[in-house]
Structure 1
Amino acid sequence: MADPTAPPPLDAALRGLCPRCGAPGLFAGLLRFADRCGGCGLDYRSFNVGDGAAAFLILIVGGLVSLLAILVELKWSPPLLVHLLLWVPLTLILTVGLLRVAKGLLLALEYKNAAREGRIVKRD
């Protein structure tokens, strides 16, 4: 049965809460996880979020920004400098801004689903 004090994964990611007890302090920096929860002692170092969040964000943000750039080009045909001033900062802001939430969400989902490294189980 699920722990009643555990926040939903999206809430934990958005607010930087521990996925087990809901205490604040999931992150020690902008994008770096704390070593462990100050409330329940959950060891965040045992989770392997890896680069999955960055890969998803690059694909999603890249697709969205590309679509917007094409639409702006077709509608208004601005000079190249306008495209550079619009899309480079927007891409960086969206990717870095959403990376914290995406990493927190992956850690919370990994905790909720008890996901661990892959193992091969021999069947009898």
Structure 2
Amino acid sequence: MEPMNTPQRPGLLTALNRGLKGRCPACGEGKLFWRYLKVEAACPACGHDLAQYPADDGPAYFTILIVGHLIVAPLLLFPFIWQAPVALVLVATLAPLTAATLILLPRIKGAFIGGLYALGVKEKDSAMHTADAAD
């Protein structure tokens, strides 16, 4: 039985939403990042250990997947991609790709960390997935 003053762990959607907003997935108040993609060691509002969630490459993969489907795939539907000079196509496509990636990456990383928090996945759990753990 949990003590009365222990806050309830938020659900998956709440934790994802808090992370998407760049807030602590535990309390929703403290900042998740102290720089562009640098995660705070602990939440300044509630003290929750934010450094324990292994975001690694997951956010980058999801960002590439989303940007590819939102920008690259629709651009292939327009004939100017094949008919225009290469220099024009590069400028017209690289600018929105870069902007979308830089805007989405911290949000997706925050949501990813929120998901890890809600699912209870921590850095120390990585030992379960190594070859040494099977022995």
**TM-score (structure 2 length as normaliser):** 0.74
Misfit runs of 4+, over 6 Å:
4-7
Report which structure shows greater RCO (CA 8 Å, sep ≥6).
2
1:13 aligned onto 2:30: no
The match for 2:66 is: 60
Equivalent residue for 2:98, pick from 92, 116, 120: 92
C-alpha distance in 2 between matches for 1:35 and 1:104: 14
State the secondary structure of the residue aligned to 1:18.
coil
C-alpha distance in 2 between matches for 1:14 and 1:63: 19
For residues 94-115 of structure 1, what are the alpha-carbon distances to aligned partners after superposition, in whole Å with 9 as ceiling and x for unaligned? 1121111111011111111112
C-alpha distance in 2 between matches for 1:12 and 1:30: 17
Among all aligned residue pairs of Structure 1 and Structure 2, give the percentage whose two residues are the same amino acid: 28
C-alpha distance in 2 between matches for 1:113 and 1:43: 15
C-alpha distance in 2 between matches for 1:67 and 1:103: 23
Shift of residue 88 of structure 1? Answer: 0.7
Q: After alignment, is 6-15 or 24-33 more displaced?
A: 6-15
The match for 1:26 is: 32
> CA RMSD, aligned part only?
2.8
Distance 1:11 1:41, change over 3 A: same
Contact 2:22 2:32 in 1 (8 A): yes
Contact 1:14 1:104 in 2 (8 A): yes
Shift of residue 79 of structure 1? Answer: 2.4
Q: After alignment, is 94-103 or 7-16 more displaced?
A: 7-16
The match for 2:88 is: 82
Shift of residue 49 of structure 1? Answer: 0.6
Distance 1:110 1:13, change over 3 A: same
C-alpha distance in 2 between matches for 1:37 and 1:48: 16
1:3 aligned onto 2:23: no
Equivalent residue for 1:46, pick from 47, 52, 59: 52
Gaps of 5+ in 1: none
